[in-house]
């Protein structure tokens, strides 16, 4: 029996990288191809322990390069595509929106065209809760799969656009697909420009931790391992054409997250430095994952257990994030 072929785009990034590990370790009968352009946020050092496995291979390519992507799909005849590859840092999207449109919208369209040409069992598009816009501080209100898309940053607008393209390819061409929309992820191998790894690295180095505005913006935190399990379930059990929200029911203000890390590492809150709020900063995100839970998923990490594990991992793996901060990983 021939092996199933799985393409994971953006597998040198944070969530995609953890999902590569998850699939390579769990499914020996899947050939896993990790496709990544290796932009500034792409790091292959996280895959050293699996790079010699028979069921894993890395390909460097740009998802917006139609010729390269079509050639790869024609050669490999993938059964599944799990699409993570995206520019994802909101601050960078405010500075340079064009890069986000090219990668997140045009790149997704190239992948969809290539998938349609060869025929697929499933195209799974990994999106974000940020496409829904923002919620107020009413704790009884959550994003559901029926919430209208109202993105507020160039990043979330580009992701919403790619979501709509994926939906259109299902409706127009019958391409089997699912879309997952997740809340904020955290865990091992998170690029240290994002809140949790940035805070951990700053606190360990006794440096000031920047907090936007008053720090009261609320996010729903999801451990990346729980997210990987959710994607695996949707890939194999999700009803084609459906959207599934993935959330951890772990709402915290940004200031609470920073203080938790500082206290866990036994440091002083004097390290906190409030800075000017960023443009279009959404007040609150919170996801209702009931639909996914009915499919059979439950998060295994509370925020308390997850953040403790994450802080421990960053403390034990300082060599990894130090080479990211120094730029050594680019070599």
3-state secondary structure labels for all residues of 147-167: CCCCCCCHHHHHHHHHHHHHH
Instruction: Count the Cβ atoms, other than its own, within 10 Å of residue 33.
Output: 21
Helices 254-264 and 195-204: crossing angle, nearest 10°?
30
Distances in Å between the alpha carbon of 265 and those of 200, 207, 213?
9, 13, 24
Q: Say which residue the tokens 């070599």 belong to.
A: 331
Rg of the chain (C-alpha set):
19
Whether 155 is catalytic is yes
State both tokens at 200. 């951990």
Whether 130 is catalytic is yes
Closest Cα partner for 129 from 185, 186, 183, 195?
183
From the candidates 22, 132, 155, 285, which is the catalytic residue? 155
CA distance 289 to 144: 7
From the candidates 31, 36, 129, 251, which is the catalytic residue? 129
80: three-class secondary structure by DSSP: strand
Closest Cα partner for 244 from 256, 232, 254, 252?
232
From the candidates 31, 43, 62, 130, which is the catalytic residue? 130
Whether 314 is catalytic is no
Question: Taking phi first (over 0 means left), then psi (-120 to 50 degrees means alpha), and beta for anything else, what does residue 247 get?
Answer: beta
Query: Please, are residues 58 and 48 in contact by the beta-carbon 8 Å criterion?
Result: no
CA distance 283 to 265: 27
CA distance 179 to 164: 10
Give me the active site residues, please.
129-130, 155
């Amino acid at each position: 029996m021939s092996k199933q072929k799985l393409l994971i785009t953006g597998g040198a990034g944070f969530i995609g990288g953890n999902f590569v590990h998850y699939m390579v370790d769990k499914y020996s009968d899947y050939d896993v191809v990790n496709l990544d352009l290796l932009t500034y946020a792409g790091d292959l050092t996280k895959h050293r322990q699996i790079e010699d496995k028979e069921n894993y291979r890395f390909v460097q390519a740009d998802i917006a390069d139609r010729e390269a992507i079509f050639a790869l799909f024609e050669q490999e005849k993938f059964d599944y595509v799990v699409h993570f590859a995206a520019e994802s840092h909101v601050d960078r999207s405010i500075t340079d929106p064009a890069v986000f449109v090219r990668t997140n919208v045009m790149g997704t369209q190239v992948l969809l065209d290539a998938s349609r040409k060869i025929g697929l069992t499933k195209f799974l598009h990994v999106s974000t809760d940020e496409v829904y816009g923002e919620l107020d501080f009413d704790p009884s209100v959550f994003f559901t799969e029926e919430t209208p898309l109202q993105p507020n940053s160039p990043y979330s607008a580009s992701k919403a656009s790619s979501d709509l393209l994926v939906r259109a390819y299902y409706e127009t061409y019958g391409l089997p697909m699912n879309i997952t929309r997740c809340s904020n992820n955290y865990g091992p191998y998170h690029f240290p420009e994002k809140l949790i790894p940035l805070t951990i690295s700053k606190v360990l180095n006794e440096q000031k931790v920047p907090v936007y505005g008053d720090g009261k913006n609320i996010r729903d935190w999801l451990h990346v391992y729980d997210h990987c399990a959710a994607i695996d379930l949707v890939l194999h059990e999700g009803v084609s054409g459906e959207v599934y929200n993935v959330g951890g029911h772990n709402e915290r203000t940004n200031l609470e997250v920073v203080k938790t890390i500082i206290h866990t590492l036994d440091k002083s809150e004097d390290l906190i430095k409030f800075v000017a709020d960023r443009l279009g900063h959404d007040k609150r995100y919170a996801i209702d994952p009931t639909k996914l839970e009915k499919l059979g998923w439950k998060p295994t990490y509370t925020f308390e257990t997850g953040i403790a594990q994450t802080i421990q991992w960053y403390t034990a793996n300082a060599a990894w994030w130090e080479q990211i901060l120094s730029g050594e990983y680019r070599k």
